[in-house]
Structure 1
Amino acid sequence: MEDAEKGSQQHPDSVPEVGEDAVTSVSPASPPPPMTEEEQQELQEELVKVEDEIQTLTQVLAAKEKQLADIKRKLGITPLNELKQNFTKTWQEVTTSNAYRRTSETLSQAGLKASAAFTNVGTAITRKLEDVR
């Protein structure tokens, strides 16, 4: 944590871009080797190309999300229906898990033992009351 704070103190004007990885936002320990003008120009062109690709992918993703919403609307799939389906699926996964089955069996056995104990106590009380009469 302290290293991250030191890094941000050393580069206070460095603000990560949206989606920028934390690893890439930290400067390397040693300065990069000097580049020629041509290498810098190539990297600058590559940077612009990658940024354009990201912009295009962002637009495609937004269009696909809109298409998905339209298809769901046409099929009558509402967020509430999806929530119900997710809940049902999750509940089914829980109830079929080993941990749930073992816990359920244990609680069932405990319930049977408690029921038997209460029956025995009730029987004993009834006998005592009959003896008192």
Structure 2
Amino acid sequence: MALTEEEQAELCSELERVEDEIQTLSQVLAAKEKQVVEIKQKLGITPLNELKQNLSKSWHEVTTSTAYKKTSETLSQVGQKATTAFSSVGSAISRKLEDVSIRSIQHSASMPLMRNKATFKSFEEKVETLKTKISPTPSTGDNEADSNPKLDTEPVVQQPEGTVTPDLGPQ
């Protein structure tokens, strides 16, 4: 698109006029900014005070927004549900520990009763029999007995030949 000389001259003059307006507006703006600073100084408004006011205003706008309110409510509900859940878990653990403690007490209380049962007495007898078989045989010499007084001097019980000893493997 080619411009005629007349159109080019007209556009150049319009460009100069707009640039002049921009310069004038910049000067007016600078003067107005200077005037604002002077007025704020007279009122005692410092940049720090302005920042505080801006932050306060922004925080107020955030806290009154619907998004903030919804998020706050949701987090509150989540917190309440988490508290309830932790409380339930704590109660369940406490009940389990009480059950274990009660069973432990019941178990230790039942030990004397178990010792009087025939099965337990039979087991005790078998252990005694095995113990006497494993014990060292006493020697006939007096010197050996005197030199080692800790040896078990009970006689070894001999089982009659042909008697089968029950297997005391893992029960």
Task: Give the TM-score, by structure 1 length.
Answer: 0.66
How many residues end up aligned between the 2 structures? Answer: 101
1:87 aligns with 2:55: yes
Deviations 1:15-73 (A, max 9, x none): xxxxxxxxxxxxxxx22x3133xx66555544444333322221111110000111111
Task: Give the TM-score, by structure 2 length.
Answer: 0.52
Q: Which structure ranks higher in relative contact order (CA pairs < 8 Å, sequence separation ≥ 6)?
A: 2
1:112 aligns with 2:80: yes
SS in 2 for 1:129: helix
Counterparts of 1:1-133 in structure 2, within 5 Å, are: 30-31=1-2, 33-36=3-6, 44-133=12-101
Aligned-pair RMSD on alpha carbons? Answer: 1.9
Q: Aligned partners of 1:40 and 1:103: how far apart in 2? A: 60
Q: Aligned partners of 1:52 and 1:122: how far apart in 2? A: 78
Q: Aligned partners of 1:44 and 1:110: how far apart in 2? A: 67
Deviations 1:51-107 (A, max 9, x none): 333222211111100001111111121111111111111111111111111111111
- Unmatched 5+ stretches in structure 2: 102-171
Go from structure 1 to structure 2 and tell me whether the alpha carbon gap of 1:128 and 1:44 turns closer, same or farther (over 3 Å shift): closer
Task: Give 1:108 shift.
Answer: 0.6
Percent identity, aligned pairs only, is 68
Go from structure 1 to structure 2 and tell me whether the alpha carbon gap of 1:122 and 1:42 turns closer, same or farther (over 3 Å shift): closer
- Unmatched 5+ stretches in structure 1: 1-29
Q: Aligned partners of 1:41 and 1:34: how far apart in 2? A: 9
